[in-house]
Amino acid sequence: MTAVALRQMGTLFRVEWRLFHRIRSNYVFVLVIPLLLLLGMRFVQEQMDLAAHGLSAGPVMVATAAGILLIFSLYSSVTGLYVARREELVLKRLRTGEVADPVILAGGASLYVAIAVAQIVVVTAVLSVMFGVAPRQAPAALLGLVTGVVLMTAMAAATAALCRTVESVMVATLPAIFVLPMIAGIYIPREVLPDNLGDILAYAPLSGTIDLVRSGWTAELGLAGIVTRVLVDLVWAGLFAWVAAKRFRWEPRT
């Protein structure tokens, strides 16, 4: 990425930050979601016999928290952002300048990427202390976070392409919000599922991210496993990016 593109992204980040800061209730969203996550996760995970499947609660909850925050704080927020800025004609005006299309989308999403990453770092640190676990394979967790951010941003752009209005965003994001956590091993680790089903769901969107983040605390993946999961995430990200490139609309329908 060129220096010019980075400056343009920085400008878009600052603009989104000012708009975010004007609505002080946004800070409630930033603080409440991680807090509710921390309060509710231990109760939910205690209902499962993780030890019987060779799983430790700490790493599982770290991966679960990362997945939930990527979906709620990044994916759903960026989808709504893209549609709102399109309806306000902001995207159309930006395209009349020198800013490239990928920079417009990446710059617009950059604030929520920063928020989601900050939330994940804080929550995983708290969970690590709560359960007395420490990262053993930090590069795997970092790769999982990066690929998860890329995947969720691309998925948000593809979903925004299907939305006619801001009001339709809630309906359009429902499949990801409710189905994706069930099939990607976020709510229920795949080891708890029947073997064949768990093996198939290893190739679901975001499954690679969950495995990589968990391996950051367990070191359960070797080099081949890490590469495979990164590739799975990137293939899904490429598919969603292709859909966005073909279908994304930069101005409201008339």
- Residue 51 DSSP class: G
- Residues 2 and 106: beta-carbon distance below 8 Å: no
- Residues 16 and 108: beta-carbon distance below 8 Å: yes
- DSSP-H helix ranges across the chain: 3-22, 25-46, 57-69, 77-87, 90-95, 101-131, 138-160, 169-174, 180-183, 195-201, 207-218, 223-247
What is the per-residue DSSP string for 66-78? HHHHIIIIIIIHH
In a domain, 164, yes or no: yes
Question: Does position 1 have pLDDT exceeding 80, yes or no?
Answer: no
In a domain, 187, yes or no: yes
CA atoms of 75 and 68, how far apart (whole Å): 10
The confidence band for 47, taking pLDDT boundaries of 50, 70 and 90, is low
Determine the pLDDT at residue 116: 92
The confidence band for 231, taking pLDDT boundaries of 50, 70 and 90, is very high
The confidence band for 168, taking pLDDT boundaries of 50, 70 and 90, is confident
Question: Does position 4 have pLDDT exceeding 80, yes or no?
Answer: no
Question: Does position 72 have pLDDT exceeding 80, yes or no?
Answer: yes
In a domain, 55, yes or no: yes
In a domain, 49, yes or no: yes
Question: Does position 27 have pLDDT exceeding 80, yes or no?
Answer: no
Among 52-61, 149-158, 175-184, 185-194, which is the least confidently predicted range?
A: 52-61
In a domain, 37, yes or no: yes
- Residues 189 and 50: beta-carbon distance below 8 Å: yes
Residue-number span of the structural domain to which 221 is assigned: 3-247
In a domain, 252, yes or no: no
CA atoms of 2 and 185, how far apart (whole Å): 37
Q: What is the mean pLDDT of residues 162-173?
A: 86
Percent of the chain with pLDDT over 70: 91
- Residue 177 DSSP class: I
Domain count, the chain: 1
Determine the pLDDT at residue 155: 95
83, two tokens? 């549609």
- Residues 158 and 247: beta-carbon distance below 8 Å: yes
- Residues 217 and 133: beta-carbon distance below 8 Å: yes
pTM higher than the cut 0.85: yes
- Residues 137 and 221: beta-carbon distance below 8 Å: yes
CA atoms of 78 and 245, how far apart (whole Å): 16
In a domain, 254, yes or no: no
In a domain, 109, yes or no: yes
